[in-house]
Amino acid sequence: MTVPVFRFAPSPNGHLHLGHAYSALLNQQMAGETGGRLLLRMEDIDRERCTPELEATMQEDLRWLGFNWETPVRRQSEHFEVYRVSLDKLIHMDLVYPAFLSRNDIKHAVQKATAENRVWPHDPDGAALYPLSDRTLSPSERAKRMNAGRAFSWRLNMDRAMEHVSQTLFWNETGNTIQARPLDWGDVIIARKDMPTSYHLSVVIDDALQGITHVVRGKDLFHATSIHRLLQHILGLEPPIYHHHALILDQDGQKLSKSRKDTALRSLRLEGMTPQQIRERVGL
């Protein structure tokens, strides 16, 4: 029988809060119940916002909490060349294209459409879908812009990707079968400006490379799993089983954020809270 492999995969761009504590400890509990392994991955591709200091603090908070992971920690920033191989594959398959529009350009496109009474589609997170104009740029215009050093990201041509797949995709959500709906996301970013990857690309590659069998993470990533399932299919990666757990909310029913001080593990610890009290607070 294969040994289950779980992972907790924070981004070290701030301090861990109660929601992270719940996710980490739930992974640990499920690994314990199934005789599984438990890994820690730092999703630190954003080299501006993620720092070694924040990572060190995260590890310290996790240790204090009683989260015990296997070493070594996988740091995504150390594996850009691995993601590059998959990006090149997608470029070669002609499933991605260089996308030049800035956030402001997108905003203007949406405003223009709204002024003309056209409804602009939004993704499951509420963000406007990327305009289709860059899909159809001529090869010479693309080359001209790239040679001129214009900043661009690589985006998936979602329609072409779906044609390539030509079958309905499903994922396994702890006992349920969920139909993936990647079209709802439009042309998602596969590689951000100046880096050969994005969250979506690195997460599917790492889950496969680390042999993750169970992805246990917050419900806020439930819909993103549609994109992950699609990328796994295109790149020939074995999909794990998913469990998207409830989020820990504040008194006003809002999602916690890393910028809030009062729910940061650091602050709670300084106030004298014990790891056991944290467990109780998150219901574990």
Report, in Å, the least distance between residue 245 CB and ligand GLU. 11
Tell me how many degrees the CA angle 61-63-69 measures, rounded to the nearest 5.
120
Smaller CB distance to ligand GLU: residue 217 or 229? 217
Smaller CB distance to ligand GLU: residue 155 or 217? 217
Report, in Å, the least distance between residue 239 CB and ligand GLU. 13
Cα–Cα distance measured from residue 73 to residue 211, given in angstroms and rounded to the nearest whole number: 14
Binding-site ranges for ligand GLU (CB under 6 A)? 9-11, 43, 203, 217, 221
Smaller CB distance to ligand GLU: residue 11 or 263? 11
Scored b (16 or more CB within 10 A) or e, 19-48 reads bbbbbbbbbbebbeeeebbbbbbbbbbbee
Report, in Å, the least distance between residue 20 CB and ligand GLU. 8
Q: In what order do the strands lie in the sheet with 170-173?
A: 70-75, 37-42, 5-8, 214-218, 241-245, 170-173, 176-179
Report, in Å, the least distance between residue 48 CB and ligand GLU. 16
Q: Are 30 and 6 in contact (CB under 8 A)?
A: yes
Report, in Å, the least distance between residue 15 CB and ligand GLU. 12
Cα–Cα distance measured from residue 105 to residue 103, given in angstroms and rounded to the nearest whole number: 5
Scanning the chain, the segments in alpha helix (DSSP H) are 18-34, 52-65, 80-92, 103-115, 139-147, 158-165, 199-209, 224-235, 265-270, 275-282
Report, in Å, the least distance between residue 61 CB and ligand GLU. 14
Report, in Å, the least distance between residue 82 CB and ligand GLU. 17
Smaller CB distance to ligand GLU: residue 220 or 262? 220
Cα–Cα distance measured from residue 202 to residue 219, given in angstroms and rounded to the nearest whole number: 19
Cα–Cα distance measured from residue 4 to residue 149, given in angstroms and rounded to the nearest whole number: 46
DSSP letter string, 195-242: SS--HHHHHHHHHHHTT--EEEEEGGGTTHHHHHHHHHHHHT----EE
Q: How far is CA 110 from the centre of its chain?
A: 25
Smaller CB distance to ligand GLU: residue 11 or 198? 11
Q: Are 226 and 184 in contact (CB under 8 A)?
A: yes
Report, in Å, the least distance between residue 11 CB and ligand GLU. 4
Smaller CB distance to ligand GLU: residue 153 or 202? 202
Smaller CB distance to ligand GLU: residue 24 or 158? 24
Smaller CB distance to ligand GLU: residue 23 or 157? 23
